[in-house]
Structure 1
Amino acid sequence: MEIRQVDEVKITKYILKATFEDWMDIAENDVVIVGAGPSGLSAAYYLAKKGLKTTVFERRLSFGGGIGGGAMLFHKIVIESPADQVLREMNIRLQRVEEGVYIVDSSEFMAKLASSAIDAGAKIVHGVTVDDVIFRENPLRVTGVAVEWTATQMASLHVDPLFIHAKAVVDATGHDAEVISVAARKIPELGIAIPGEKSAYSEVAEKLTVDNTGEVAPGLYAAGMAVTEVKGLPRMGPIFGAMVLSGKKVAEDIASTLLMKARNT
């Protein structure tokens, strides 16, 4: 087997050219999702399937958010009905343990969630932290995000961010609701109150999380565990049905709003 020879300068130029073409494209989006965990990836999948230009920023160099840790580092998680329908759509294998309750392998769950979102047309960029939002007045709404390299922040370097526009921003950052927390602190006019997440009560937390998924301020949405933080709901532990259903619900809400606006213009 003869391997094609490529010199170092060409390697650099090819990477830079393709990367900057991508960044020029993702400077403007229909939807920006912050966090490539279960709710963020599920939302990206359904939004992209609707034909909406969707970019996911993930601060780590991996997919999955809290999935990978499983339950105390055990590599299995629980999924309950009707969330299993979403996993079946993505060809994720389920092991039934009782009626409507399933065990899923965490690595397969992460990998196929991500590949499904990418195959649907979503763009996922790793190593990027969203540390602020963009807003406009009259009418007051969130219109995008400010992004930094995660490595830059870890090094405690002061570097100004780049700005990315979006018609909708989804906070899927997990327990701390990082994007919504910043918006609440820096734009008090949005009127966002964050009571904080309650302790575990799995039996009710799953339904409450899905029911409360949605817009928290004009242009700014909560999905997944960010919902429990913003709405003061109980946590639920290593059961992930609400996470994928929350992602699907926020995608449906945003798609309905954006596609309706497009029809009316």
Structure 2
Amino acid sequence: MKLDEVTISRAIIDEFSKVFLDYTEVDVALVGGGPANLVAAKYLAEAGLKTVIYEKKLSVGGGMWAGGMMFPRIVVQEEARHILDDFGIDYHEYEEGYYIANSVESVGKLISAATSAGTEIFNLVNVEDVMIRDNDEVCGLVINWTAVEIGRLHVDPLAIRAKVVVDGTGHEAAVCNTVQRKVPGAKLGELGVVGEKPMWADVGERMLVETTREVYPNLYVDGMAANAVAGAPRMGPVFGGMLISGKQVADLIIERLK
């Protein structure tokens, strides 16, 4: 078979354009491709909800790739072990209640499960704003290429419509900060976006169950973004709370939309 470069280019552009257009209206738009949103995406898509992830970086997986200080291992506690099983991630017990997994394998299987369930992932896409209408509900996102942001180029963005948005952008809680900054009087949760407290794994992991929720009409938070909004501690390279948070936000949204 003789390969033609133009045919290859057309195939990529044609296929991407069709999918991109199809996903201008979705049920759930997850911002950030970290572990919490990847977990959420699998369960949301399996429930039949049209689900998309926007990740501003080239790679998906957030901070899980590097494990702890570039040692590619993560720790997961007993409460989250069943999620490792759901995703087919290999692990073994280190000490009672502490389970260790390969961070690279974990990310690969999270991505594979999310996409196999039907999630569409658009990487190198930056969410620069939200859409809010007269009823003060989030109804969509404003997106552009990450390269536009990096290059500080004057390029107008595009928009997508979503029934629900999930901020899973980690420590920066980017979507929540945008809403708080741009909507007069907007208050997310009890305190607004206050930023995370210093590391305290035990408290941070437990609080993540409480902080994963809807913080503004149609805007949910999960993962480290949830603790950043609520002013809870960061946790470090224990990832059980991230996995539980992703499953929890998916359950909340499925109950609402289905």
Alignment of 1:48-87 (within 5 A): 48-87=45-84
Q: Give the structure 1 partner of residue 24 of structure 2.
A: 27
Aligned length in residues? 255
Once the 2 structures are TM-superposed, how far is the Cα of residue 50 of structure 1 from its aligned partner? Answer: 0.6
Q: Give the structure 2 partner of residue 171 of structure 1.
A: 167
Alignment of 1:190-209 (within 5 A): 190-192=186-188, 193-209=192-208
CA displacement 1:87-140 (0-9 Å, x = unmatched):
111110012012221011010010000000011111111110111101111x22
Query: Partners of 1:205 and 1:78 in 2: how far apart?
Result: 14
Query: Partners of 1:87 and 1:5 in 2: how far apart?
Result: 44
Equivalent in 85, 89, 113 of residue 88 of structure 1: 85
What is the identity, as a one-letter code, of the residue corresponding to 1:250?
V
Equivalent in 146, 149, 166 of residue 150 of structure 1: 146
Please give the secondary structure, in 2, of the residue aligned with 1:5.
Answer: coil
Correspondence 1:222 to 2:221: yes
Q: Give the structure 2 partner of residue 119 of structure 1.
A: 116
CA displacement 1:143-202 (0-9 Å, x = unmatched):
010111111111111111110110000000000101110111001343221111100111
**For the Cα contact (< 8 Å) 1:94–1:103, is it kept in 2?**
yes
Any runs of at least 4 consecutive aligned residues in structure 1 with deviations exceeding 3 A, and if so which? Answer: none
Equivalent in 19, 22, 40 of residue 37 of structure 2: 40
Query: Partners of 1:15 and 1:5 in 2: how far apart?
Result: 18
**For the Cα contact (< 8 Å) 1:140–1:190, is it kept in 2?**
no
Query: Partners of 1:163 and 1:173 in 2: how far apart?
Result: 19
Query: Partners of 1:48 and 1:142 in 2: how far apart?
Result: 21
**Structure 2 residue runs without a partner (length 5+):** none
What is the identity, as a one-letter code, of the residue corresponding to 1:180?
C
CA displacement 1:208-252 (0-9 Å, x = unmatched):
012210100001010000011100001111100000100110011
Query: Partners of 1:9 and 1:72 in 2: how far apart?
Result: 43
What is the identity, as a one-letter code, of the residue corresponding to 1:202?
A
Q: Give the structure 2 partner of residue 141 of structure 1.
A: 137
Please give the secondary structure, in 1, of the residue aligned with 2:130.
Answer: strand
Please give the secondary structure, in 1, of the residue aligned with 2:2.
Answer: coil
**For the Cα contact (< 8 Å) 1:63–1:111, is it kept in 2?**
no
Query: Partners of 1:172 and 1:86 in 2: how far apart?
Result: 18
**For the Cα contact (< 8 Å) 1:202–1:234, is it kept in 2?**
yes
Query: Partners of 1:200 and 1:113 in 2: how far apart?
Result: 25
Alignment of 1:230-245 (within 5 A): 230-245=229-244
How high is the sequence identity, in percent, across the aligned residues? 44
What is the identity, as a one-letter code, of the residue corresponding to 1:244?
L
Which deviates further from its counterpart, 239-248 or 66-75? 66-75
Equivalent in 177, 180, 189 of residue 181 of structure 1: 177
TM-score if structure 1 supplies the norm length? 0.94
Query: Partners of 1:213 and 1:222 in 2: how far apart?
Result: 6
